[in-house]
Amino acid sequence: MDAATLEPSDAWAVFVREAQPDVERWQAALDAPGTVQAHTLAQLLEAGRHTAFGREHGFSDIRSADEFRERVPIRNSADFLPWLERAARDVKPVLTRERPAFFERTSGSTTRSKLIPYTPTFLRELQAAMIVWLAGMARAHPDITAGRAYWSMSPALQRPGTAPNGIAIGSASDFDYLGGSSAAALAATLLVPPLDGDPTAWRRQTLRALVADEALAMISVWSPTFLASLLRPLFSPEQADSTRDLAWIEANLPATRAAALRQAIARGRCDALWPRLAAVSSWMDGPSRVYAESLRTRFAAAVQWLPKGLLATEGVVSIPFGDGDGCPLAIGSHYLEFVFDDGRVCDVSGLAPGDEAAVLLTTGGGLYRYALGDRVRVTRFTGRTPCIAFVGRAGASCDLVGEKLDERMVDDALAPVFASGASACLVPDVQADVPHYVMLLAGVPRESVEMLRDAIETRLDRIFHYAHARRMGQLAPLRVRRLSDAPAPLGDLLQRAAERSGIRAGDVKPSPLVTRLPMAELVLGMSERWPHE
């Protein structure tokens, strides 16, 4: 029988059966991560030895991980950009001996968006992680196999294009990530919204498709703010754009689903819409935590909220698998390294519980010692393999006048807000006569705002450079702008602003600090008009 014609439960059964050998190999590898990673590095070096990058860095002469570190410097996204641009321009092998199947754009969090090569080898690396994750989830939560699933694996309405060397930019569909693997059987389970050519209407079209499907069993997104932005009309029906979208959605639904929609709107909850919904998978650690917890209250208590691993356009770092805090490192996909604050670098064998470090990726897509920009913490071990949780963006900082704030500092300073279940974000305002930071707040009573502002300013004053800038008059006092009684609208605002700045909808990562000044100006402008923006 054609996989596309299978019932969801049958498609899942086919997949789980075919994935079993991959899962068994993965479980065996958890007890020997050093051996697996050494083999991965050797394969990647052999495959890349005759490329332009491999010749320049002497891949043919590298015999160990230490020699690899000596010959290949760590490069951040800006440092690696010339190589990526060359890979999109040249016909001969630049980063990999394989011709990329396509390029994917990064989220645009830097001033210049990058094109990441997706080679057949790189796709297999991603699929290896996805197969383990999906098969493990199906076994642990079998109710997800009883109906259809909505996956936001890539952003809606990604702009297609062609690189100078003729390679496509952007995958044709999410199925490109599954093709040729056992996970391809799951195509029959996917809810695929029928999007027309109107780029402003994709949210309401997606929401209509979700509401229309009574048998929805799983929702899988990356950021909880992305899911909240899709569901926003249900929770704020009084707003003009919500009223318009809900009227259009209801007019395009069968009577029974229209009745369920009205019930969901009246309750401000999703229970009536999806009685079979078993699980929602999203980021749930780091800055995403408060938004996931807020959104969780809109769903039935029986719905399981499952954490995502750490996966970016550039590669996969960890896989949700098993019980406990954190996710095991994706040792069967790429070669992973970790950079500590003192500059020390290690591979998986050098990590210990409690360690915090930034991630380096070496992949079959042609990234070598690439500083991903994500910071992780080791939470526990599965076998001999470390499990990690996402902490925040490494090196994400703002320095208007020498105050040198970074995400970790701000996350610590805002701890009283997060502890109360509210949400907050610091946004630099450089247009004022004296630069200062604006604290956007949501989920805090009006009478508590000033007291909370004073408490946060006191905590910021413990940061040496911030306190010095305040004493010197270079920074004005912290100001506050309250958005709403509920914490979710701040995530919605940051989601919309990030999309408007060029970041793809499904890739937006919540952050306690806006570091890009153009983005900060956009957020402040939108917050003055929110929710009527």
At 399 the pLDDT is 84
Q: How are beta strands 279-282 and 304-307 bridged, if at all?
A: parallel
On the question of pLDDT at 192 being above 50, the answer is yes
What confidence tier does 246 reach under pLDDT thresholds 50, 70, 90? very high
Model confidence at 40: pLDDT above 70:
yes
Can you give the pLDDT at residue 434?
87
Relative to beta strand 102-105, strand 115-118 is antiparallel
Assign 519 to helix, strand or coil.
helix
Of the given ranges (371-380, 405-414, 486-495, 503-512), which has the lowest mean pLDDT? Answer: 503-512
pLDDT at 343: 92
Of the candidates 146, 147, 144, 169, the residue with the CA atom closest to the CA atom of residue 158 = 169
6 vs 423 pLDDT, higher one? 423
Token pair in block for residue 402: 């020498």
Give SS3 for 345.
strand
pLDDT of residue 176: 66
Question: Which of these, 317, 352, 339, 310, lies nearest to 69 by C-alpha position?
Answer: 339
Lowest mean pLDDT among 61-65, 197-201, 458-462: 197-201
* 395/24: higher pLDDT: 24
Identify any residues that bridge with 103 across adjacent strands, giving them in sequence order.
117, 169
**pLDDT computed for residue 110 by the predictor:** 41
Spatial distance between the Cα atoms of 419 and 26, rounded to a whole number of angstroms: 37
**According to the model, what pLDDT value does residue 106 have?**
78
Strands 216-220 and 148-151: parallel
Task: Look at residue 129 in the predicted model and tell me its pLDDT.
Answer: 93
Specify the range with the lowest mean pLDDT, choosing from 184-188, 319-323, 369-373, 504-508.
504-508
CA distance 297 to 286: 19
Residue 386: beta bridge partners?
381
Rounded CA gap, 392 and 376, in Å? Answer: 7
Q: Is the pLDDT of residue 155 over 50?
A: no
274-302 burial string, b = 16+ CB within 10 Å, else e?
beebbbbbbbbbbbbbbbbbbbeebbeee
The pLDDT value recorded for residue 200 is 66
The Cα 369–Cα 69 span in angstroms is: 8
pLDDT score, position 112 = 58
In 3D space, the residue among 378, 525, 401, 369 whose CA is nearest the CA of residue 470 turns out to be 401
Assign a CATH topology to domain 31-116+314-393.
Rossmann fold (3.40.50)
Task: Output the DSSP codes for 3-39.
Answer: GGGS-HHHHHHHHHHHHHHHHHHHHHHTT-HHHHHHH
* Mean pLDDT rounded to a whole number for the chain: 88
pLDDT greater than 70 at residue 462? yes
Q: What share of the chain is helix, strand, coil (3-state, %, to 5)?
A: 45, 20, 40
Beta carbons of 179 and 153 less than 8 angstroms apart: no
Query: 156 pLDDT exceeds 80?
Result: no
Range scoring the smallest mean pLDDT among 349-363, 385-399, 414-428: 385-399
The residue ranges of every structural domain in the chain are: 31-116+314-393, 123-159+172-221+223-307, 397-529
CA angle, 128 then 330 then 508, to 5°: 95
Model confidence pLDDT, tens digit, residues 329-354:
999 999 999 999 999 999 999 999 99
Query: pLDDT tier at 290 (50, 70, 90 boundaries)?
Result: confident
Mean pLDDT throughout 92-117? Answer: 81
Q: For residues 260 and 38, give the distance between their C-alpha atoms in angstroms, rounded to a whole number.
A: 54
Task: Give the confidence band of 153 by pLDDT, cuts at 50, 70, 90.
Answer: low
Burial group, residue 198, by CB count within 10 angstroms (0-12, 13-18, 19+): exposed
**Of 216, 231, 212, nearest in space to 295 by CA:** 231
Strands (DSSP E) contained in 399-502 are 405-406, 423-429, 436-442, 479-484
Q: Tell whether the model's pLDDT for residue 1 goes beyond 50.
A: no
Please report the pLDDT score of residue 62 as a whole number: 96
Q: How far is CA 204 from the centre of its chain?
A: 22
Query: Could you tell me how many helices (H) and strands (E) the chain has, helices first?
Result: 17, 21
181 compared with 367, residue with greater pLDDT = 367
What confidence tier does 431 reach under pLDDT thresholds 50, 70, 90?
confident
What are the pLDDT digits (tens) for 126-148? 999 999 999 999 999 999 999 99
* % pLDDT > 90, the chain: 60
Rg value, the chain, Cα: 23
